[in-house]
Structure 1
Amino acid sequence: MVMAIPLLLAQLLLLAVALAAVQAAPGLHPVVLVPGYATNELDARLTELYRPSSPGCGARKGEGWFRLYLNYSALQDPGNVPCFAEQMSSVYDPAADDYSNVAGVETRVPFFGSTQAFRYPDPDRKNFSYMSTFVERLEKTGYRDGETMFGAPYDFRYAVAPVGRPSRVGDAFFRALKNLVERASGLNGGRPVVIATHSFGGLLAHQFLIRQPLAWRRRFVGRFVPIAAPWGGLVRGMQTLVSGNNLGLPFVDPRALLRQGRSQQSSLWRLPSPAAFGAATPLVTTKSRNYSAGDVADFLVAIGLGEAVGPYESRVLPLFGGELPHPGVPVTTVVGVGVGTPERIVFPGDDFDATPSVVAGDGDGVVNLVSAVAVETSWSHRGVDFSMVKVSNMSHNALLVDDRALEIIIREIQRAD
């Protein structure tokens, strides 16, 4: 009996320690954040295979890795913009049926697994980010980078192809994302992960989820929270292939980045899909022709981008041309509404170089309403937890900055708890 008392005390002590550990645990389901297009850093290095268009573009050849995106200060010099555009471009090889960098340009995405990659795409200035507010709000809720909160940055110039077609960069990202989800769950006692995304990141994460075995999804993913996802593409996707995209840098001429933007696989993902916009509704109008989501191939030819018709029809339409599959996990999608959004681009003649007028409709300023809600009807009738929250008078990026929107998003993330 005397020996039993110390043994009992030891057992009670171990029990108390175990209970204290449980009470001290944050109790949060880990969250993996997948940012939007052109939101995270991208590094590059120039090898001897690089043939610069001008001597200045080759100045960094052989010097190792440097930050290609985003270098806000460098791009303020118009002389640096052509080199940036050249090194950011990609190339589609019809024989290989895949995209790659320009010869001699190697790229990498730094800080995978951490939110550091997209808190400030230009860490020197720290003034060009909306993800930072979102991350800070999560931190106030108790999330910690690398412990309960993880980042999945990616090379936003690329995407993935339909199953069975090559997509070297996209497939590598999916492998890394799968490992990250499993690691995040393992570091948190096996709790399922919440995957929260913004904009283009939602399309990537959706494709990732539907390609995983259902048992894996149910084991490792507690909720999918896509924010401002353009499920059916954007009218602006057609507009930027005509006029260019300055990546939100007001001092950069969008047309200076036109060829670079046209070369990217991800640019074709942003084109309006017939499933969302219909095959007959005019989206781009010239004096002699209307172009709908069903006329994208003709539109590409008309603007001088006929070489993109093949990859669009073989690598994009099979993914977005019809109803999108439910990801098989609980979903809350958050969208902004009530903000004027380009709905129709009207050119005064048949010349795409002319300045068009823009007819606005509903949406978040970037994503058209019909695209944002494209999954609402089909996903809400699948017998799986699904909800869509429409935040009135909320723009595309404000969804991750505005207190009213962030309160909704954090609440939905924590529903997994």
Structure 2
Amino acid sequence: MAIPLPILVQLLPLLLVAAAPCSLEAAAPHQLHPIVLVPGYATNELDVRLTELYRPSSPRCGERKGKGWFRLYLNYSALQDPANLPCFAEQMTSVYDTASDDYFNVPGVETRVPFFGSTQAFRYPDPDRKNFSYMNTLVERLEKVGYRDGETMFGAPYDFRYVVAPAGHPSRVGDAFLRALKGLVEQASRLNGGRPVTIVTHSAGGPLTHQLLIRQPPAWRQRFVRRFVPVAAPWGGIVLGMVTLVSGNNYGLPFVDARALLAAGRSQQTSLWLLPSPSPAVFGTAQPLVITKSRNYSAGDVADYLVAIGFGEAVGPYESRVLPLFGGYLPPPGVPVTNIVGVGVGTTERIVYPGDDLDATPATVAGDGDGVVNLASALAVENKWKDYRLVKVSNVTHNDLVADDQALEIVIREIQRAN
């Protein structure tokens, strides 16, 4: 994930824990363990096709109906026109069906994720403009040390509106991605002489990949995975996840009105995954995260908070599909882990309203983290997983952990440990 949200001021400089010395020189392909990269939220392209079942809210939204595939996300130029925003929101919306207990696209809207298997999928979410990317710099640095797309380096993009569900609950899109990711890991290993794979993730890609690992038998993990390197992973949600359910998410595009995308954002399964976990290892149930004149809300009060903001229909899927995954102890992935986290950047930790109106503009209190992921969430697995290594990167923001030169030097060194 990258989670493109407005970030607060930087503060709280902390110690930089540097990785042990490791050569950054290019290696021969036969010396490399292959890499599978899993990006963060809203970091890859998403195509759409409008069928005859689509009932557009306006003639403008139906202009491309029946005309084949086109890029829905990210089309920077189209989103600069405010008149296109309602159509974008409508086509990005998903629907939770209580009868089937699963999420689907709006009727008549078919979506696909192009370039699965290749890093082309997320080098630039808008390939026309090439001015909006969180992952391209990381890919370029990996190429400099010898990795080649489709040979020793592979990309696993996904429809970032959808995630997976606990056992007993269907998740058609999310489960299909996990099957594809599992197959890609196996393919990457086969193409490289059977060498096990290093899986490198950013942001929301971390918890999603963790779900793949814990659902595989130990023999598979030992055979195919050399190391898991999550960067900036929100293991226990983020406080900003509560904010965006009220203010909306503009995907980091300053010219886009976030409120215009509020309903679409709320509809997406991912929005509930980002809510702060009540696990004692993360936010717990005592710490107030949202404060109003008459009521405080902790991570243990998320259901009440959803009702208070007028999103009560989300309580059911939150309690049945999210809490079983993140409400308690996160099981170990069963492979060596290097957890790379950002520290020393002001990160929204508490939201304070002047009264009881949750539509009012609140004040915010900053704590430690990377500007998006709170430190408590980033460290939720500390001292709980075996064969675990923690690397802290100081004063680098969430997205810059895969773009800043100094941060990338640390990330690349940790990846090279697998070789």
Give the Cα–Cα distance (whole angstroms) in 1 for the partners of residues 224 and 150 of structure 2. Answer: 17
Question: In the alignment, what sits opposite 1:272?
Answer: 276
Question: In the alignment, what sits opposite 1:7?
Answer: none
Give the Cα–Cα distance (whole angstroms) in 2 for the partners of residues 386 and 340 of structure 1. Answer: 26
Q: What are the equivalent positions in structure 2 for 1:303-314 lying under 5 Å apart?
A: 303-314=309-320
Question: In the alignment, what sits opposite 1:398?
Answer: 400
Is residue 2:380 matched to residue 1:374?
A: yes
Aligned-partner SS, 2:193:
coil
Of 343-352 and 226-235, deviating more is 343-352
Q: 1:82–1:386: structure 2 CA closer, same or farther, 3 Å change rule?
A: same
Aligned-partner SS, 1:359:
strand
Asked if the contact 2:29/2:147 (under 8 Å) is kept, the reply is no
Shift of 1:24: 6.2
Q: Name segments (4+ residues, structure 1) moved above 3 Å.
A: 23-26
Is residue 2:179 matched to residue 1:175?
A: yes
Q: What are the equivalent positions in structure 2 for 1:377-388 lying under 5 Å apart?
A: 377-379=383-385, 382=386, 385-388=387-390
1:241 aligned partner, one-letter code: L
Is residue 2:142 matched to residue 1:124?
A: no
Q: 1:304–1:30: structure 2 CA closer, same or farther, 3 Å change rule?
A: same
Give the Cα–Cα distance (whole angstroms) in 1 for the partners of residues 28 and 273 of structure 2. Answer: 44
Asked if the contact 1:26/1:142 (under 8 Å) is kept, the reply is no
Count of aligned pairs between the two proteins = 391
1:409 aligned partner, one-letter code: V
Let me know the Cα RMSD of the aligned residues: 0.9
Q: Which protein has the bigger helix share?
A: 1
Aligned-partner SS, 2:110:
strand
Shift of 1:239: 0.3
Is residue 2:359 matched to residue 1:353?
A: yes
Give the Cα–Cα distance (whole angstroms) in 2 for the partners of residues 24 and 313 of structure 1. Answer: 49
Q: Residue by residue, what CA displacement relative to the aligned partner does 1:300-326 show, whole Å, maximum 9, x if unpaired?
A: 000000000000000000000001011
The equivalent position to 2:112 in structure 1, one of 103, 108, 114, is 108
Q: 1:25–1:303: structure 2 CA closer, same or farther, 3 Å change rule?
A: closer
Shift of 1:164: 2.1
Structure 2 unaligned regions, length at least 5: 1-26
The equivalent position to 1:135 in structure 2, one of 131, 139, 142, is 139
Shift of 1:25: 4.4
Q: Please report the TM-score for the alignment, with normalisation by the length of structure 1.
A: 0.93
Q: What are the equivalent positions in structure 2 for 1:233-252 lying under 5 Å apart?
A: 233-252=237-256
Shift of 1:299: 0.2
Q: Please report the TM-score for the alignment, with normalisation by the length of structure 2.
A: 0.92
Identity %: 80
Q: Residue by residue, what CA displacement relative to the aligned partner does 1:69-92 show, whole Å, maximum 9, x if unpaired?
A: 000000000000010000000000
Is residue 2:327 matched to residue 1:321?
A: yes
Give the Cα–Cα distance (whole angstroms) in 2 for the partners of residues 51 and 327 of structure 1. Answer: 43
Question: In the alignment, what sits opposite 1:91?
Answer: 95
Give the Cα–Cα distance (whole angstroms) in 1 for the partners of residues 328 and 34 of structure 2. Answer: 32
Give the Cα–Cα distance (whole angstroms) in 2 for the partners of residues 312 and 283 of structure 1. Answer: 18
Question: In the alignment, what sits opposite 1:300?
Answer: 306
1:308 aligned partner, one-letter code: A
Shift of 1:26: 3.3
Shift of 1:181: 0.4
Is residue 2:205 matched to residue 1:201?
A: yes
Give the Cα–Cα distance (whole angstroms) in 2 for the partners of residues 321 and 263 of structure 1. Answer: 21
Is residue 2:50 matched to residue 1:46?
A: yes
Is residue 2:103 matched to residue 1:79?
A: no
Does 1 or 2 have the higher relative contact order (CA < 8 Å, sep 6+)? 2
Shift of 1:27: 1.1
Give the Cα–Cα distance (whole angstroms) in 2 for the partners of residues 377 and 163 of structure 1. Answer: 26
Question: In the alignment, what sits opposite 2:338?
Answer: 332
Aligned-partner SS, 1:197:
strand
Q: Residue by residue, what CA displacement relative to the aligned partner does 1:78-124 show, whole Å, maximum 9, x if unpaired?
A: 00001000000000001100000000000000000000010000000
Q: What are the equivalent positions in structure 2 for 1:136-155 lying under 5 Å apart?
A: 136-155=140-159
